[in-house]
Amino acid sequence: MAETILVLTHADETGSVLTTASLEAVSAGKELAAWLDASLTIGVVAAEASSAARSLAGVGARIFGVSGEAFAQARYASDAAACEALCKAAAATIVLTTGSSRFARVAAGVALRLGGCVDTHVTSIRCENGVEVSRWFYRQRIEAVITRAKRPWILLLDAGTYAPFEGGVEDVKVEQVAVALPAMRTTVIGMRSPELSAQTIRPEAKMLFVAGAGWTKKQSDGQVHAGEAGELILNFLSNTGASLGSSKSLVDQGGDGQPVLPFLTHMNQVGQTGSTPRHAKGLSTCCHGEEPHVVGWRFIGDRRAISLDPNCGWARGKADVVYVADAFKVMARVNELLAGH
């Protein structure tokens, strides 16, 4: 069956530039179209699609756009209508898009409206016996390859699995697609950051620093040093630009009335019931490296750990290097050295 491929993209918070994850989906679309010798179309959802599409110069595909103030914000009713209209305009059989919060919210609804199917968290696509995609099950504990005959098939790609498309930046021809919007009952007010002293979640950072519950346990002097631990961690993040992750046990401590690091929320949680980030390097501290934690490290490349326990889970083939040492002392010295750089 001849396939028609559509890549759905959206603008970032500024409204005038496509997100990095969208450009990754464009790369995936170009690769798949070349494999299948299929036609490729790019769909852009933005307040002003023509501006956002400028980063698609040289893409070698038709570009459809949905524009208007209603599409400046991520909202189910308007985004689902926009994506549905773009899929119909492109007569797409395979739709690639980003698993961003914006499109992950609407993709399944769009698939249902089109009479198609949807799969998410796709990490690779191959064309051996038709189109086959890889994704993870049981929170990154089992990897499977799946295929479907039903079309249209919407695939949401996990961020970081393809290199972003790099074309020129110039005006491109965008064919505007009209969208019939239903009555809007939801108004997006804006973004809100947690009421914290520092923004610690940085998806674009090269490094992930994970704090485990050991930071708030009694130390060798019999005392808890949560304040000192917080200072050491924040200094390290400031010195390196790293993103901060946490074990579940640490973020849950607040609810149990135990000492907590005030800048941690459930959004920092990494692991089986938290996020599975993608950073080039990861440093685990005071975390014992058992399976539910390490699941969150599945896509972290270079891994090191600091632990007082030489037999912790990290030492069993999960980290590249495990330092058997006191993280308080090591990180204090690391911060001194980094500050002197």
Does residue 148 belong to the site contacting another protein (CB under 8 A)? yes
* Residue 50 in tokens: 């023509």
Q: How far apart are CA 263 and CA 251, in angstroms?
A: 10
Residue from 105, 217, 225, 278 in contact with another protein (CB under 8 A): 105
Query: In angstroms, what is the minimal distance from the CB of 67 to another protein?
Result: 21
Residue from 1, 2, 142, 180 in contact with another protein (CB under 8 A): 142
Does residue 14 belong to the site contacting another protein (CB under 8 A)? no
Identify residues 25-44 at the interface with another protein (CB under 8 A): none
List the alpha helices (DSSP H) in 200-271.
Answer: 226-240, 248-252
Phi-psi region of 101 (alpha: psi -120 to 50; beta: other; left: phi over 0): alpha
Query: In angstroms, what is the minimal distance from the CB of 223 to another protein?
Result: 20
Smaller CB distance to another protein: residue 165 or 263? 263
Q: How far apart are CA 72 and CA 330, in angstroms?
A: 46
- Measured from the Cβ of residue 272, the count of other Cβ atoms closer than 10 Å reads 18
Contacts of 162 (CB under 8 A, 6+ apart): 24, 25, 27, 28, 31
Using CB under 8 A, count the residues that bind another protein: 99
Identify residues 198-237 at the interface with another protein (CB under 8 A): 199-203, 206-207
Residue from 69, 141, 227, 262 in contact with another protein (CB under 8 A): 141
Q: Is the peptide bond before 152 cis (omega within 30 degrees of 0)?
A: yes
Identify residues 254-313 at the interface with another protein (CB under 8 A): 255-256, 265-269, 272-273, 281, 283, 291-292, 298, 302-304, 306, 310
Smaller CB distance to another protein: residue 141 or 218? 141
Identify residues 40-99 at the interface with another protein (CB under 8 A): 74-77, 80
* Residue 107 in tokens: 């993709």
Q: How far apart are CA 68 and CA 225, in angstroms?
A: 53
Does residue 241 belong to the site contacting another protein (CB under 8 A)? yes
